[in-house]
Each structure stands twice: as structure tokens, then as C-alpha cells.
Amino acid sequence: MTELNDIPHIEIFDTRAYSFKLRLDTTNFAPYKRQGLVEDIKVPKAISFHSFSESRLNPAASTPYGCLEPMDMNFFGMGRSEQLHMAISACHMFKNLEGRYPNDNEADLAKVVEFTKAMNAQFKEANQINVEEVDESIVKKVAAYSTCSITSQAAMFGGFIAQEVVKFTGKYMPLK
């Protein structure tokens, strides 16, 4: 099977302890005589994403499967990420208009809910990320805690968790 030496990259699948299979038709190759050497080469994979300004408005459309690749999806909490995305955007809109993040009082929380509902209506018209109905309790909780700061310990544990996620989902690939 010296013909294998002239082929640049061959996909390997079904790897076992002492064997593997090639995604290649070898019926016209010379017969196998003895062992050989195999070199594992990481082939670059092109991945395209929208710009940040586009993704900020419609994150679900940034990749073919939205923000997440389909793995073992359970449909718990569907729509929750859209609620959170719009609530956080409304808090930033509040900061841009008022010069501060909303406080935990009814006037500020009501204004953030109003911004979120207006944003949802605007996104529905543009066929972007939207929800059927804005969950006011989620928006109020996001707005009430928008002035909180994250401690350095939380950032450290976030780094640990991020490394574990990268290990689980596949090294050397960006998170989606």
C-alpha cells in the first residue's frame, strides 16, 4: 500500500487501541505487507462568524446552528437566553441615556422593562432575535443586579470552568 504515501491528507475514523480505519477506497492499491508510520496532522477548519455589531443584534444567526452546535440538546429554558440578551441590552441602553446603570427601584426597573419591550417589538419587525412575550421578572432581576461587581475569586473560578469547557468541547476551536 505504498500509494498511501502520495495522498496528502486522509481522514481517520474508528480509532481503536491498535487499529484505525481510513475514509478512502483502497481496493485498487497494492496488498498490505507490513506495518507503517502514521502522522497525526491537525487540518485547519475554516469557521466564519458575523461581526460583533451584527452578532450583538442577532446572536442566533451568527452560525448555522445559532450560538450552540447541536449536541445532546434538551429543550429546558428555551427562550431564556433571548430574554437575558435583551434585558442586558436594555440595561446598556439605560446607561447610555441616564449615565448610570439602573438602581433597584421601581422607576428604573420599569424603564428597563419598557426598553426591553420596545427592543423586542423592533427585533420582531426586523425578523431578528425576539420572544413571544417579555418576562418582566427576568428583566427586573437583571436590571436590579446590573450595578453589582464580580469579585476576583469568581473570575478565577470562571477561568477554571472555561478551561474545562474547552477540554470537553474540543481543543483549539473557538467557543460558539
- Taking only Cα atoms into account, the Rg of the chain, rounded to an integer number of angstroms, comes to 25
In whole angstroms, what is the distance from residue 70 CA to residue 66 CA? 9
Q: What is the pLDDT of residue 148?
A: 83
Q: What is the structure's pLDDT at 141?
A: 93
pTM for this structure? 0.57
Assign 3-class secondary structure to 11-64.
CEECCCCCCCEECCCCCCCCCCCCCCCCCCCCCCCCCCCCCHHHHHHCHHHCCC
Residue ranges of the domains in the chain? 52-169
- pLDDT one digit per residue (tens) for the chain, 176 residues: 788 888 888 888 888 888 888 888 888 888 888 887 878 777 777 767 677 777 777 776 666 555 545 555 555 566 788 888 899 999 999 999 999 999 999 999 999 999 999 999 998 898 888 888 999 999 999 999 988 877 777 888 888 788 777 767 766 565 55
Query: What is the per-residue pLDDT for 96?
Result: 95
pLDDT for the residue 41: 78
Q: What is the CATH number of domain 52-169?
A: 3.40.50.12550
Q: Is 134 left (phi over 0), alpha (psi -120 to 50) or beta?
A: beta
pLDDT number for residue 121: 94
Cell for 169? 468541547
pLDDT value of position 154: 80
Q: What is the structure's pLDDT at 175?
A: 53
